[in-house]
Structure 1
Amino acid sequence: MLLRRVMSALTAVLVLAGLSTCMPSANAATNPAAPYAPLTRQGPALSVPGATIKAAMTCHGNPKAGPPPVYLNPATSVTGAENYQWNWEKVFTAQGRYWCTMTMPFHTFGDIQTAAEYIVYAIRTMYAQSGRKVTILGHSQGGMSGRWALRFWPDTRAKVAEVIGMAPSNHGTKSLPVCGLASLTTCTPAVWQQQAGSTFLKALNSGAETFAGIDYTNIYTKLDEVVTPYDAGALHTGGGRIANIEVHSVCAADPYEHVMMGTVSPAVYGIVMDALDHAGPAVATRVDKSLCSRLYMPGINPLDVVSFAPLLTGVPSLVTTPLPMMTLSGAPMVKAEPPLRCYAYAAGC
């Protein structure tokens, strides 16, 4: 039970670190109700040096061969390896699928606006190397943050085939109210930004939640204790093709909560593979129901203790995710949500 609770905290709040070098204009900073950037405005130059992002990126496979490529987007408190090396990376390697992931600053606890620049770089690089559209597969914050790249860097939209979120925090959570309590507490930037009603989430979901030409599969569970309400991961607006799938519509007895949704659940595995194997988003009735009798997704070998090493290294950072005033990640502890970058506002930079 303790391990399960520890793992639950892991995907709770996924973010990335780094302070902005692109500050909001005076008008934007003093007028949080200012309209957001038009959907078609060209995205800004990346403020994180390309060499820094390149060094954080890990890829495997032949970009030109095999099934279409997947970018594995990590959750809050973990690196790409800690989140995916012991599960999804094994699955995609066995399929001969080209995949990449990132080691984000501060274990993805930093400003998600900075993390989004890493995602923009990954999309552009993988598309250029493979000549094929990329799927973004993410857990918790990782199921949401790729949409910031698509919202504010329009050139990435033609390079992405689909976005698959496993317990994504698309509309934030109401389960972490301790941040900023009576202005006495501090939290990491990513935790602030994933609070329901944050300015970050308002900007993310402004104009359109989805874009034409991209398929969106959002998978969530009634047992989610991190993203609440549990269906806050659903998307509804925009021109993309959308499937919002509650995992119990596929496997009625699925026992897994937030953290296990993106790492262990065989039902989630079935939904993800259905989305990858067919045109359009996943269809719940198409998913292989034999998966419902499994304890864990294919790719995981519970006897291979060595493969779980990355998971164990992420536990100390994971357990601090919901705690105010404390982090082991080195991320800044702040009393308020980071300001939006100027490019997110209609006034621009």
Structure 2
Amino acid sequence: MFSLPGLTRSLTLLCSITQVFGTPIDTRSDITDYFSSVESDLKSLTVQTAPSTIEDAFSKLQSILDGKNLTLVETATQLISAGLSSLTWDGVVSYIDGLESGLASSSNVNSREPSVAVYPSASTGDAPYSFSEDELRSALYIPGNFTYGVSGAPQPILLVGGTGNPGYVTFVGTYIKLLQNEETSFGDPVWLNIPGYELDDLQKNAEFVAYAINYLSNICGNRSIAVMGYSQGNLDSQWAYKYWPSTRAHVTDHVAFSPGYRGTELTQIIKWVPQPPAWLQALYDSDFVLATRANGGDSSYVPTTVIYSLTDEVVQPQFGDGASSPLKDAHGAGVTNVRVQDACPGQVAGSFYTHEGIPYNPLAYALARDAVLNDGTGQLSRLDLTSICGNYLAPTLTLEDFLLTENTAVVAAVLTLLYDGKSTTEPAIADYAK
């Protein structure tokens, strides 16, 4: 699936590029030369000494990103140079190669058969799948100590990752650790490693979410599950809830970290530069986003707790009526929309949090836990904000976990550049959604 791209296949992902470093970019040769330079810079970097404290790490991260409009490649380069990522270009390639046969594999053997067929359809109202059942099932990674929802066991939780990352890489520094740690666990995690690292068509990615919800609930004795999504994982899930309505009855809660339910205005596309489909669909009010939000898709289908940041460097805008992350509640399923700066004003947990930073934010953890352990959505009124807002990280997370999570931006940059199958046009909306 991956090949080294030609220079004209490079892309800008996160910012307007009318100017870069003060130099106007007006021609194809200008942009070719620019991307050749930044890709070369990324490949040449070596691992730097990491910050020694979490306070220093946060300070360095803010100095890199605050007020800047960096491309994904520029962000990755800055993270490596500041010691905020332990991965370089070659490190990403080796890291992913080492995980693909295990924790980040999309070729897993899940031999438990559902008691009632969930394929080719769990309900007559569901959209058709374009993948085989084996393909859909094998993307689900189930840890060896998973309890399958037996009596007295924690609730099963499905983790759905973000663009350019396997599910494992997305959550290894946050909710895989938090949910597998007896001190901080409130559920039993499994995760999706969607083929193509979620760079393919989001409509196809959503099929894996829809199947996983119905399959996982069934093999857990028809016990309802919770779903926790990061970034694109929330759009995938919302599409699944909308067009595979059978899934809704099997989900007690959806927790959305840094979602872009309206897409992002920071992803400014040069139309003649080929892109992975997922980045084209991430545009603010893209065809995919508009189809998702139409006919009630801008509202929650299951109880949904949304946690996001004003200083998200990927998804913008995050203020006003056009804010990208919040959902409405037209269906009455229940929604809590929380921007961390509003809930913890002037405090550490409400300070500069990036797109990838919300999963390690302590308020996000507290709301997720509250949502899963109680009926309905997470509620600030049930939380001790005085103690929560004074922390940088969720309980038990460390500087090492922070750095693991910052690695996700570098992984996404490298895998995006290596992605084969870029296009200049967004995938067509499926017939079932028209």
- Shorter-chain-normalised TM-score: which range? 0.7 to 0.9
Query: In the alignment, does 2:394 pair up with 1:297?
Result: yes
Q: Deviations over 1:6-25 (max 9, x none)?
A: 37xx9xxxxxxxxxxxxxxx
CA distance in 2 between counterparts of 1:246 and 1:85 reads: 24
CA distance in 2 between counterparts of 1:204 and 1:304 reads: 33
1:198 CA displacement: 1.0
Q: Which amino acid aligns with 1:151?
A: K
Q: Residues 86 and 45 (structure 1 numbering): CA distance in 2 closer, same or farther, change over 3 Å? A: same
CA distance in 2 between counterparts of 1:267 and 1:304 reads: 17
CA distance in 2 between counterparts of 1:82 and 1:311 reads: 10
1:143 CA displacement: 2.2
Is the 8 Å Cα contact of residues 267 and 282 (structure 2) preserved in structure 1?
no
SS at match of 1:161: strand
Q: Deviations over 1:35-88 (max 9, x none)?
A: xxxxx9722332112212222211232022422221101011111110112220
Matching residue of 2:343: 250
Matching residue of 1:145: 236
Q: Residues 248 and 334 (structure 1 numbering): CA distance in 2 closer, same or farther, change over 3 Å? A: same
1:256 CA displacement: 1.2
CA distance in 1 between counterparts of 2:162 and 2:378 reads: 22
1:103-182 equivalences in 2 (<5 Å): 103-130=193-220, 131-177=222-268, 179=269, 181=270
CA distance in 2 between counterparts of 1:249 and 1:279 reads: 24
Query: In the alignment, does 2:312 pair up with 1:224?
Result: yes
Is the 8 Å Cα contact of residues 106 and 331 (structure 1) preserved in structure 2?
no
1:152 CA displacement: 0.5
Q: Deviations over 1:214-237 (max 9, x none)?
A: 201111111112111113111114
Matching residue of 1:187: 275
Matching residue of 1:42: 125
Q: Which amino acid aligns with 1:57?
A: L
SS at match of 2:428: coil
1:320 CA displacement: 5.2
Q: Deviations over 1:120-175 (max 9, x none)?
A: 11101111022221211111111222010010111111111121111101111111
Matching residue of 2:428: 339
Is the 8 Å Cα contact of residues 173 and 401 (structure 2) preserved in structure 1?
no
CA distance in 1 between counterparts of 2:158 and 2:399 reads: 25
Matching residue of 1:62: 147
Q: Deviations over 1:243-301 (max 9, x none)?
A: 11111232223231211112x21121112112112111111232232122222112424
Query: In the alignment, does 2:328 pair up with 1:236?
Result: yes
Is the 8 Å Cα contact of residues 186 and 372 (structure 2) preserved in structure 1?
no
CA distance in 2 between counterparts of 1:162 and 1:96 reads: 13
Question: Larger relative CO (CA 8 A, sep 6+): 1 or 2?
Answer: 1
Q: Which runs of 5+ in 1 are unaligned?
A: 11-39
CA distance in 1 between counterparts of 2:313 and 2:410 reads: 20
Give 1 or 2 for the bigger CA radius of gyration.
Answer: 2
% same residue: 23
CA distance in 2 between counterparts of 1:335 and 1:279 reads: 44
SS at match of 1:138: strand
CA distance in 1 between counterparts of 2:173 and 2:414 reads: 22
1:97 CA displacement: 2.8
- Within the candidate set 358, 365, 371, 1:269 is matched to 365
CA distance in 1 between counterparts of 2:395 and 2:412 reads: 24
1:105 CA displacement: 1.8
Q: Residues 43 and 100 (structure 1 numbering): CA distance in 2 closer, same or farther, change over 3 Å? A: same
Query: In the alignment, does 2:158 pair up with 1:71?
Result: yes
TM-score, length-scaled by structure 2? 0.64
CA distance in 1 between counterparts of 2:300 and 2:250 reads: 12
Q: Which runs of 5+ in 2 are unaligned?
A: 1-59, 66-74, 80-84, 86-122
Q: Larger deviation: 104-113 or 296-305?
A: 296-305
TM-score, length-scaled by structure 1? 0.79
Q: Which amino acid aligns with 2:393?
A: Y
Matching residue of 1:278: 374
Q: Residues 303 and 202 (structure 1 numbering): CA distance in 2 closer, same or farther, change over 3 Å? A: closer
SS at match of 1:232: coil
- Within the candidate set 192, 207, 216, 2:295 is matched to 207
1:211 CA displacement: 5.4
Q: Which amino acid aligns with 1:284?
A: L
Number of residue pairs aligned between Structure 1 and Structure 2: 301
SS at match of 1:233: coil
Q: Residues 96 and 242 (structure 1 numbering): CA distance in 2 closer, same or farther, change over 3 Å? A: closer
CA distance in 2 between counterparts of 1:233 and 1:335 reads: 26
RMSD value, Cα:
2.5
Query: In the alignment, does 2:134 pair up with 1:51?
Result: yes
- Within the candidate set 147, 153, 172, 1:85 is matched to 172
Q: Which amino acid aligns with 1:88?
A: Y
CA distance in 1 between counterparts of 2:300 and 2:400 reads: 42
